[in-house]
Amino acid sequence: MTAPFRLPGRGLVDQGTDLEFSFDGRRYTGHPGDTLASALLANGVHRVATGIAYRRPRGIMSAGVEEPSALVQIEEPFPEPMLQATTVELYAGLVARGPAGRGRLATAADPARYDAVHAHCDLLVVGAGPAGLLAALAGARDGQRVVLVDDQPRPGGSLLGTAERVDGLPGPEWAAGVVAELAALPDVRVLSRTTAFGHYDDDFVLALERRTDHLGFDAPAGTSRQRVWRLRARRTVVATGAHERPLVFPDNDRPGIMLAGAARTYLHRYGVLTGRQAVVFTTDDSAYAAATDLVDAGVTVAAVVDARTTVPEAWAEQCARRGIEIRAGEVVTGTSGSERITRAHTAPYAGGRLHGPRRGVDCDLLLVSGGWNPVAHLYSHARGALHYDPARGAFLPTGDLPNLRVAGAANGRATLADCLADGAQAADAPASTRASIPVSAPVPATEPVPDQTPGLVLWSVPDPAETDGGEPRPRFVDLQRDATVADVLRATGAGLRSVEHVKRYTTIGTAHDQGRTSGVIASGIVADALGADIATLGTTTFRPPYTPVAFAALAGRDRGALFDPVRVTPLHAWHTAHGAEFENVGQWKRPRCYPRPGESMDRAVLRECRAAREGVALMDGSTLGKVSVQGPDAGELLDRLYTNLISTLKPGAARYGVMCGVDGMVLDDGTVIRVAEEEFLLTTTTGNAAKILDWMEEWLQTEWPHLRVTLTSVTDHWVTVPLVGPDSRAVLAAVAPDLDVANAAFPFMTWRDATVAGIPARICRISFSGELAYEVNVRGWEGPRLWEALIAAGEPYGITPYGTETMHVLRAEKGYPIIGQDTDGTVTPQDLGLGWAVSRKKPDFIGKRSFTRAENLRPDRKQLVGLLPEDPSLRLPEGAQLIATAAVPAPPVPMLGHVTSSYRSAALGRTFALALVKAGRERIGDTLYAPLEEGVHPVRITDPVLYDKEGTRRDG
Amino acid sequence: MTADQLARVAITETPRLTQLSLRLDPAGSSSAPVAAVLGARLPTAPCTWAAAPEADLLWLGPDEWLLLAPPDTADLAPSLRHAIAPHFGTVTDVSSQRTAFDLTGPGAPDLLAHGCAIDLHPRSSPTGTCVQTLLAQTGVTLLVLDDAPQAPTLRLLVRTSFAPYLRSWLGDVASGT
């Protein structure tokens, strides 16, 4: 069935195929090639939305991305708010409605896939209209790598909406031929449905390709819905055309009021009549083509209202031949109608004022044309300067940028022939880099057009109420924001002089369309109101994105499991297979504990702790950061970076070390082993590995480049397995028969190379638990074999794998701080009780000077202490504050400190905690109070070392 | 490039390569004895690699190379250390620090383009290219082993701990774009 306003056989839509869709609960039919807007107009539907502030009926103003009012909510296939009906391609089963102002986001997760692709080219052409096509053709024929992007489903740009012929062919046919030639070349990529939405530094352009939106329910699952193209081009040609400017007059927002060029596009591209009886209101020549085309298609044009007193002769003749009345020197001063315009009122106009009586004319369509704004957004993003052209009332690009040219209508060219000629040479490099042979394409022939008559710049038609004392009517500047001329005048009346300030005061240009139809007009109205020159006022700044881009598209694949890289060790498969609960440490997944079936985490941790203290246990410590430091000056570098002396370490020995920032605050800690005279290996905390390597490189490269040292990350090279507990020596002896594990032969804080389970290994006698312990290091891929061998050898001893939670409990029982948990960047080594690790002999090291700052010597600094809650079953929450009294005083409550680590201890048979407390060491033995939600709990301050203070367990 | 072509990119892991980080002054006295050990001079052109009889030599910086040799090439590191001495230069075994993925097939450069900003067109990245860059959210060293348009081969060296992420990401791209 043909819709009532569809012309059979006209347009580029496939009228042989019907697409059923629903809008505002009613069913309609459209065709492939339609937009939602063109399909609605074909069915005679003009009112599609409701104004956000005044709830006035709103229609379809344009035929493209400049649409200010026809915002729709898609309900099916997947809810999406605030889309322009003029850019939604129609598909079968589409369910949409016209919301009142605001849309609705889906509550369900978006099932679509999103993608990103990087692409590189010699020449990027934005826009496949007449100028862009010729620029791309010139570059492609020259053998350049060319990317041509265009936001429409088919090439041609403006040619799709006019009846103009190129080289004797209908415009769309000519465009399709050019694209066919381009697409056949190996290094040319043509992207349709792709909007270049931002130009960034270094000629980087982002473009959004809509790949399956137009397929609706038939979108294939494996294909991304949208793709962000990350384009890097040596040169860019911006051939993005121009947007027609509406005219501002009383009641200029009624459905049925439309840009003249849009009506022409609906006729030629979609075969749709936008009304039966039209009035055309214009200030320049281009609307005449719309008027005559519409009459030729069967529309009655009741009048062309031309604000200019001098009407173009050739067009006057064309109108006369068709019986169109021209009201020269008149303007539209108001409209009637509610759901749709029914009548336009005109009056003579001269010198900025209305003269003489109003006359009405019946119509169901009012076409407006106030001139054309070049689409210079990408040029502006690239910091191109716009200048005002008073003849057109438009801001035009000012010359080429080093690697960017604007061509065609975007460059202010008004006719097809001029656009083609401009595009044909736009691919050529700018003069400074010009090759000997210019890169250009032959300019195809076009039909003659009448000479242009200068347009009239008319920012707003006066409201007759100003002179006749009637009720003022709203003159809308920004239809989406419901902002009027009165709002602009209120802004200038309040003293605002900058268009940027007026924009923010009135919200004009802040909607989805970013002021495409309203921005320049607002500048003009401000200029008129202030008596200023619009050329100096300028326009508001164009910023990316040119059109709205969904966050999902920007996120691309970085969602779900790929949101952030997950780092794992070579032992990860074993952990997973043995029921580990994992903890995120930076990007790493670390086993937190290994609960047995039915076992709670608390019980699992108690069991693991007991095994480590009474038998033998092992963990995966591979995530520790590891840096190989080599060179004759390696010891010197480490002496400067650590607070303690490293260079005196003997090969074969290990030492604990603390690093501070220049402020004297603890940055990281770890162990250092001396591998050879000129080689050290240090460890960092898991989360700090990259930061510490950067820190070391920064000092080495920028402050001490003369030191002969190299730094190499070997974090992933080694699998590190701490083997802990009184039985660890026996287990190690079983798998390392050639190693003398006796305490005297292999003492604490030394390391040995040995064969463990047939694998070359480096074993360090270091302990983060206070127990006898060995840290076995092998190359990563040997890790699983080592682990299995240790498990097997430990079986007679009940060897138990343990996770980070147990590690934390064991070290906390010994009062060993974890940097980043028990510290927060305001804690010195002395605060932690690590004063013994701060050298008094070294002439200098990072942080040394800060230790003598008065602030760092205050006796009431927060110091690390142990806490024993009076209730031995109470595990204090980490972060709990500590106060002096059992009753919470009136605020502000003096806070004495806070809990940094808190656990249940198998060894102590009770709960305990570590805390940073003001003058904490002086308070040992005192009672403080932890106010929690359910009550205030007394806690006793203790030495941070709560287990084996004498260190008797270290050697087994 | 169709999804089908991307799916047909062969991705194989080449584990346990002997990998050595070599740091020395290329203008210094150890340069010639090192070249004698390797059978070729170290490449000094940025972002390149060169095949030598004893190892592939990857330029990572003005004084830094990564050497790739077959698994268990145990004698290379001692020979290099011997050649460098008594001058300043270091050799570090990093064999297990990274693993190698080789991507082969006409779609391989396009597959990587979904997460890698490097221009892999043979005109920009011919055989012999070696760059350190980001692929999706992980750092990689990317080598163009062969730029033949019909069967290009690219090698990715990635930190071992990031390898499962990279494998998932490559699978996600191959499963749909």
A706 interface with B at CB cutoff 8 Å: no
CA count, 13 A, side-chain hemisphere, A618: 31
Q: Could you report the per-residue pLDDT of A325-367, keeping only the tens digit for each?
A: 999 999 999 999 989 999 999 999 998 899 988 999 999 999 9
Residue range(s) defining the domain that contains residue B132: 3-8+98-175
B127 and B74 in a single domain? The answer is: no
A659 and A754 in a single domain? The answer is: no
Residue A782 near residue A759 (C-beta atoms within 8 A):
yes
B129 and B171 in a single domain? The answer is: yes
B115 and B82 in a single domain? The answer is: no
Reported confidence tier of residue A94, pLDDT bands at 50, 70, 90: very high
Residue range(s) defining the domain that contains residue A86: 1-108
Q: Could you report the per-residue pLDDT of B19-57, keeping only the tens digit for each?
A: 999 999 999 999 999 999 999 999 999 999 999 999 999
Q: How many Cβ atoms sit within 10 Å of the Cβ of residue A744?
A: 7
Going by C-alpha positions, the residue among A805, A803, A785, A794 that lies closest to residue A570 is A785
Q: What is the arithmetic mean of pLDDT over A516-532?
A: 94
B33 and B78 in a single domain? The answer is: yes
Give, rounded to a whole angstrom, the gap between the first and last alpha carbons of chain B. Answer: 10
Query: What's residue A186's pLDDT?
Result: 87
CATH number of the CATH domain containing B154: 3.30.1360.120
Q: Give how far A225 is from chain B: nearest CA, Å.
A: 9
CATH number of the CATH domain containing A518: 1.10.10.1100
Residue A506 near residue A488 (C-beta atoms within 8 A):
yes
Reported confidence tier of residue A584, pLDDT bands at 50, 70, 90: very high
For residue B69, pLDDT over 60 is answered with yes
Q: How many domains does chain A have?
A: 6
CATH number of the CATH domain containing A29: 3.10.20.440
Q: What is the arithmetic mean of pLDDT over A684-708?
A: 96
Query: What's residue A689's pLDDT?
Result: 95
The rounded distance, in Å, linking the Cα atoms of A56 and A764 is 79
Of residues A562, A567, A713, nearest to B172 (C-beta): A562
| Contact assignment for A565 to B138 by CB distance below 8 Å | yes
Residue with tokens 């000056």: A633
A641 and A608 in a single domain? The answer is: no
**Structure tokens of A39?**
């399909």
For residue A450, pLDDT over 90 is answered with no
A591 and A638 in a single domain? The answer is: no
A7 and A56 in a single domain? The answer is: yes
Residue with tokens 């892999």: B120
The rounded distance, in Å, linking the Cα atoms of A267 and A272 is 5
A701 and A722 in a single domain? The answer is: no
A514 and A365 in a single domain? The answer is: no
Q: Which of A303-307, A377-381, A452-456, A845-849 has the lowest mean pLDDT?
A: A452-456
Residues from chain A that touch B81, judged by Cβ atoms under 8 A, are none
| Contact assignment for A230 to B177 by CB distance below 8 Å | no
Query: What's residue A546's pLDDT?
Result: 95
B80 interface with A at CB cutoff 8 Å: no
A472 and A523 in a single domain? The answer is: yes
With H, G, I as helix, E, B as strand and everything else as coil, classify residue A236.
strand
For residue A712, pLDDT over 60 is answered with yes
Of residues B21, B113, B164, nearest to A119 (C-beta): B113
Q: Give how far B20 is from chain A: nearest CA, Å.
A: 11
Query: What's residue A437's pLDDT?
Result: 64
Percent of chain B with pLDDT over 90: 90
Reported confidence tier of residue B7, pLDDT bands at 50, 70, 90: low
For residue A433, pLDDT over 70 is answered with no
Q: What is the arithmetic mean of pLDDT over B66-85?
A: 96
For residue A368, pLDDT over 60 is answered with yes
Query: What's residue B2's pLDDT?
Result: 56
* Structural domain includes residue B124: yes
β-pair partners for B141: B132, B157
Which segments of A642-727 does DSSP mark as H helices, in order?
689-698
Domain final position from A315, A343, A370: A370
Residue A705 near residue B62 (C-beta atoms within 8 A):
no
B88 and B124 in a single domain? The answer is: no
B96 interface with A at CB cutoff 8 Å: yes
* Structural domain includes residue A642: yes
A697 and A733 in a single domain? The answer is: no
A26 and A48 in a single domain? The answer is: yes
Percent of chain A with pLDDT over 70: 99
Query: What's residue A134's pLDDT?
Result: 97
* Structural domain includes residue A344: yes
* Structural domain includes residue A51: yes
CATH number of the CATH domain containing B83: 3.30.70.1520
CA nearest B137 in A: which residue? Answer: A565
Reported confidence tier of residue A432, pLDDT bands at 50, 70, 90: very low
Domain final position from B93, B110, B141: B93
Query: What's residue A87's pLDDT?
Result: 97
Quote the Cα angle for A628-A632-A634, to 5°.
40
A568 interface with B at CB cutoff 8 Å: yes
Of residues B114, B136, B161, nearest to A567 (C-beta): B161
B62 and B107 in a single domain? The answer is: no
Domain final position from B93, B120, B140: B93
Of residues B118, B161, B176, nearest to A113 (C-beta): B176
| Contact assignment for B114 to A716 by CB distance below 8 Å | no
B107 and B88 in a single domain? The answer is: no
User: Which residues are within 8 A (CB) of A64 and not within 5 positions of it... i.e. 6 or more apart?
Assistant: A86, A87, A243, A262, A265
A721 and A708 in a single domain? The answer is: no
Query: What's residue B6's pLDDT?
Result: 65
Q: What is the arithmetic mean of pLDDT over A775-784?
A: 98
Residue A385 near residue A548 (C-beta atoms within 8 A):
no
Length of chain A: 956
Residues from chain A that touch B158, judged by Cβ atoms under 8 A, are none
Query: What's residue A100's pLDDT?
Result: 72
For residue A671, pLDDT over 60 is answered with yes
For residue A102, pLDDT over 90 is answered with no
With H, G, I as helix, E, B as strand and everything else as coil, classify residue A77.
coil
Of residues B115, B121, B161, nearest to A120 (C-beta): B121
B159 interface with A at CB cutoff 8 Å: yes
* Structural domain includes residue B13: no
Domain final position from B93, B125, B156: B93
B172 interface with A at CB cutoff 8 Å: yes
> Which of A114, A117, A681 is the best residue to mutate to test the B interface, defined by the most B CB atoms within 10 Å of its own CB?
A117
CA nearest A706 in B: which residue? Answer: B88
Q: Could you report the per-residue pLDDT of A538-567, keeping only the tens digit for each?
A: 998 899 999 999 999 999 999 999 999 999
Query: What's residue A339's pLDDT?
Result: 94
* Structural domain includes residue B87: yes
The rounded distance, in Å, linking the Cα atoms of A21 and B38 is 71
pLDDT greater at residue A242 or residue A427: A242
* Structural domain includes residue A524: yes
For residue B1, pLDDT over 70 is answered with no
User: Which residues are within 8 A (CB) of A311 and not within 5 positions of it... i.e. 6 or more apart?
Assistant: A326, A328, A453
CATH number of the CATH domain containing A758: 3.30.1360.120
CA nearest A632 in B: which residue? Answer: B88
How buried is A510 (Cβ within 10 angstroms: 0-12 exposed, 13-18 middle, 19+ buried)?
middle
Query: What's residue A430's pLDDT?
Result: 58
Q: Could you report the per-residue pLDDT of A627-656, keeping only the tens digit for each?
A: 999 999 999 999 999 999 999 999 999 999
- pLDDT, chain A, mean: 95
Q: Could you report the per-residue pLDDT of A143-180, keeping only the tens digit for each?
A: 999 999 999 999 999 999 999 999 999 999 999 999 99
The rounded distance, in Å, linking the Cα atoms of A95 and A405 is 41
Reported confidence tier of residue A1, pLDDT bands at 50, 70, 90: low
Residues from chain A that touch B161, judged by Cβ atoms under 8 A, are 567-569, 588, 623, 715-716
B54 and B119 in a single domain? The answer is: no
* Structural domain includes residue A225: no
Dihedral angle over CA of A181, A185, A187, A188, nearest 10 = 20
* Structural domain includes residue A581: yes
DSSP letter string over A159-180?
GGGS--EETTEEHHHHHHHHHH
The rounded distance, in Å, linking the Cα atoms of A815 and A809 is 10
* Structural domain includes residue A25: yes
Q: How many domains does chain B have?
A: 2
A356 and A321 in a single domain? The answer is: yes
Of residues A557, A565, A716, nearest to B96 (C-beta): A716
Domain final position from A370, A405, A429: A370
Percent of chain A with pLDDT over 90: 93
A725 and A592 in a single domain? The answer is: yes
Domain final position from A89, A108, A127: A108
Tell me the CA distances in angstroms from A665 to A571, A639, A658, A828, one per residue in order. Answer: 34, 17, 10, 5
B108 and B49 in a single domain? The answer is: no
Query: What's residue B3's pLDDT?
Result: 57
Residue A378 corresponds to which amino acid? L
* Structural domain includes residue A127: no
Q: In which region does residue A603 sit, left (phi positive, over 0), alpha (psi from -120 to 50) or beta (all else)?
A: alpha
Q: How many Cβ atoms sit within 10 Å of the Cβ of residue A529?
A: 17
